Amino acid sequence: MKSLTEKQKNMLDFIDDFLDREGMAPTVYEIADHFGIKTSTVFAHLKALQRKNQLSRSSKARSIALKKRPARQVPHMSFVLSIPLLGRINAGLPADSPVVVEGEFQVTGKLAELAKHNELFALKVSGESMRDLGILDGDIVVVQKISTPKNGDIVAALVNNETTVKSFYMCDNKTVELRPANPDYSVQQYAADQVVVQGKVIALHREF
């Protein structure tokens, strides 16, 4: 097998660091932005790394998985905390607001620091409306409790006592848009006083 080039090593290191920091794989666009290169160049490097059995990926966003992640020091148990894992949140049309705690989800590192202050909860995702942002059916999203998101944040939002996960946009002081990331779904518009933001999605977990 051919050895890795310096650029390929740097790209693997970035993907590895991104996975640890964000809890999900970077998109091709995020890799291109980090290195200041074209997306076509990123695709070429990823294909080369696939041939060298360094990673796997599909056509879906955030599907990059490293085959040979370096061994890392296991965090001390004091830095591993549990957060409540609630019922399924819909990535489609709004669904009944989850009120049942289904179990616990463990977080480490920076997420554990937030968990110490009871700022986090986890939700199971149902549906494919956020597919193109890499959030798939069956994923678990980690949500930080906030009430004032920025435009473009992916949020868990309560609308008329129902909950959904979408990209948040405040169009004016009276209207909120909850935008999907799948052309099969429509943008949802609500009066601002109908939308209660439960939190911002800050990490994602997927089992293969």
What is the secondary structure of 103-135 as a DSSP string? EEEEE-HHHHHHHHTT-EEEEEEESSTTGGGT-
3-state secondary structure of 199: strand
Q: Which pair of structure tokens corresponds to residue 122?
A: 């986890």
Please list the active-site residues: 129, 166
The whole-angstrom separation of Cα 79 and Cα 102 is: 23
Q: Is 94 exposed, middle or buried (0-12, 13-18, 19+ CB in 10 A)?
A: buried
CA distances from 123 to 77, 109, 179 (A): 23, 19, 19
